[in-house]
Chain A
């Protein structure tokens, strides 16, 4: 009897919390009217797009409920989206294909910073020399500063994929071939 009563209360509680939790836990996009930010009484919501309508059609981030739940680099590379590079015809568009390996990572994997995907989205002047020096190893980077919103953390954790995805930056294990080659230089 006691056991049954217990089970009943639990299942009731689970049922009701269940109604409320799936949004954040099962990684769907929240409609604007329910996101706690937009005023649900605003008549303009009817003409506005809900995030899920657009983002569900882009390559899904297999890391789950992080950021926009989208692999933006793939969305761009694979042609799912074609965001404009400029508004004024005279603006110079520069893309650079240069990886930088950063090795002051203690016991975690080294960091590979790829210029290619960054310069597809960003201009050199967004990073140089305001955030990073234009010489490998010259910027005093540290994880603490990054977590406080400096350096890589200016964008990662705000608009670009968030800092919980350690491996996406710390992607070069110290014992890989690529890294041994690099070490000799």
Chain B
């Protein structure tokens, strides 16, 4: 009797741990290169902004944004405000009803979960062991 139970107990604990992990972990599988912009958005009552590189690079080469339009290549380095965008700067250079749909589609840009921090996903902080 006791011999029959000795091993399964440990197995059971492992199995349970695996189950719990499966149910409760909230893994993040964001697409590589997604940028979260949340300097001010959430403080001002909007969801954080998610900018998808994969979607835009199908339509534009890097040089369009990072040379012509002058976006700095560092997550969080561009101090973007909604007023700038409405004025036709940053995202507003395209999201102006001409190159792409215009600013009234708030929820398409402001699409992130609450509490996200400004950063790039899949980048050096997350990929690989430790920092890399």
Contact = CB atoms under 8 A, between A and B. Distances in A.
B62 A42 contact: no
Contacts of B50: 37-38
A153 B124 contact: yes
Contacts of B128: 147, 163-164
Interface residues of B, number: 65
B73 A126 contact: yes
Nearest to B52: A51
Contact of B4 (A2, A148, A159): A2
B66 A48 contact: no
Nearest to B99: A87
A9 B12 contact: yes
Given A13-B14, A24-B29, A121-B61, 10 more contacts: A2-B7, A9-B15, A19-B22, A37-B30, A42-B111, A51-B55, A126-B63, A157-B123, A157-B127, A158-B123
Interface of B: 3-4, 7-8, 11-12, 14-16, 18-19, 21-23, 25-34, 36, 47, 50, 52-55, 57-64, 66-69, 73, 75, 93-94, 99, 105, 107-108, 111-114, 116, 120-124, 127-128, 131-132
